[in-house]
Structure 1
């Protein structure tokens, strides 16, 4: 019996097919949605339940004016190697909620709507202020939050404490903030230097002032609630703090704005950032802390790293590499 080759079989099958009418042109019958799905991610830290909810994207524009004391050629090379555009910088905003079983703690509030649509758009672009919607999608109502721990008093971290009318968004919450940041960012005398200082001070005054009878001053090395410890990390602002969240034998450090970009300021931690109050101190703090996290294999959550901001840093060359955690991992240790 002759053996048929593959080409003969294909030709025979094609000849056996019935004649079909000419193909109709393809038509897109469904409109583009142009909407993002709810963005939240839940995982465990020991016995604590943690939820990351997105406030949306934060565009910074071209990187060269923002990341200072750096070589443009080296910056372009780093971005290209990471398959990132060289003419635009977009950060994420990853809000974290930790349920300890006794307390429901929100870290940072996103951009919010307190300063009105135009100022909010100028400060953060059109894709931010989504935190409340994403918290509700994750089953968390703002009324349930009993503590808002603010890493620092910049617009994308505290402007969501009140709404445009000045009403508390988290009516049952205390607000933890460093005394240094509270004094600095509510002082009209600091409306000098870069143009952003005036709206930053006005926004901090409006948002933090509404909770003046509910403010808790955080201290370096002290717990804000059992299992959550504030750690001073100055430089980005005078009172910037990160928070170590520990349950059982597991710890995740919410690093706030220790490093804004997962390539540029991780590979080159001594590069400076134009929104830092003290860029050189910030670079020293960043390098020291990233070195500790790498050496101790400490899990971190970064506010501005790619969604959902969870992972580790590893020592690599003169800097570090960002190793994101798989999002299907429910426990991060």
Structure 2
């Protein structure tokens, strides 16, 4: 037995032998289990802007193989297990950004919400936390001036309204690509995968409540000063990411450019089941990852591990995720 191990065992045994016995009847582990998570929000600076990421809760996909239907199952399992992730289930986060420019308060994506009743829980009961976490972060929904959507999927726009169709952000405009607005409010697109019907019904309900206050975003054009739209199509045909610049700092809010921080970075050309055009999505993702790794800009990813803030770097034929260390003194 190595000497260091022997010394540790002897020391532990001696310490145990000298511990005083608790008096009879004294409570042991009497504190109840809390069984609930604290509010999830994280605040930091982007130049002179104040940024707050709030969680809509995690989004379980279940077994990963159906989500990546064209990928070899053994490679999926190997990538997950070698990174200490459960190969039996894939769980995504939902990290929504709120940006305070000093003149406007902007929310990027809304989370799942409760507007579609039972369909709002199609991924389980852990979604729909955005409004509560906003309030915990000291931000009220009526303070939002502009909701900027990366795209019109359920987990990004279904909290625009409540279950009764009332606007959750009564003073806000909504910015979205015209391509996504048209596609996801067109009943003729209810074909293909089963999820298309609720996805379109949900988008119609949520977006129609803001039809008189829509802003159409355009590729490489500013949405507001300091926020520029960049078209990254494929996940949806109008999927858009946003470069946020203040002073000498740029952070790119990448939306659903890549859903998984291991699988779709190590294998950027893999296809994802919820992509409208999987091959176009893979090509767009690969190009954007190369651009981000080259420019070395920080990114905020909607679905990467909480709070989704970090960098991507080249690694072999793919990329690696470098999360930014959490620091309570970042402001």
Q: TM-score category by the smaller chain?
A: over 0.9
Equivalent-residue separation in structure 2 for 1:253 and 1:93 (angstroms): 16
Equivalent-residue separation in structure 2 for 1:18 and 1:199 (angstroms): 61
How many equivalent pairs are there? 319
Cα displacement (A) at 1:86:
0.4
Cα displacement (A) at 1:28:
3.4
Tell me the TM-score normalised to structure 2 length.
Answer: 0.92
Query: Which position in structure 1 is the counterpart of 2:104?
Result: 103
Query: Which position in structure 2 is the counterpart of 1:136?
Result: 135
| 1:82-161 mapped onto 2 (5 Å cutoff) | 82-116=83-117, 118-122=118-122, 124-161=123-160
* Alignment gaps of 5+ in structure 1: 1-5
CA contact (8 A) 1:44 1:330 kept: no
Runs of 4+ in 1 over 4 A off after TM superposition: 17-26, 329-332
Query: Which position in structure 1 is the counterpart of 2:170?
Result: 171
Equivalent-residue separation in structure 2 for 1:171 and 1:213 (angstroms): 12
Query: Which position in structure 2 is the counterpart of 1:3?
Result: none
Cα displacement (A) at 1:331:
5.7
Cα displacement (A) at 1:214:
0.4
Pick the structure with greater CA Rg: 1
Tell me the TM-score normalised to structure 1 length.
Answer: 0.92
Query: Which position in structure 2 is the counterpart of 1:272?
Result: 271
Equivalent-residue separation in structure 2 for 1:75 and 1:230 (angstroms): 32
Query: Which position in structure 1 is the counterpart of 2:200?
Result: 201
CA contact (8 A) 1:245 1:251 kept: yes
Equivalent-residue separation in structure 1 for 2:60 and 2:269 (angstroms): 22
* Alignment gaps of 5+ in structure 2: 1-6
Cα displacement (A) at 1:327:
1.3
Query: Which position in structure 1 is the counterpart of 2:181?
Result: 182
Cα displacement (A) at 1:31:
2.1
Equivalent-residue separation in structure 2 for 1:217 and 1:242 (angstroms): 14
Aligned pair 1:238/2:237, yes or no? yes
Cα displacement (A) at 1:57:
0.5
3-state secondary structure, aligned to 1:65: helix
3-state secondary structure, aligned to 1:205: helix
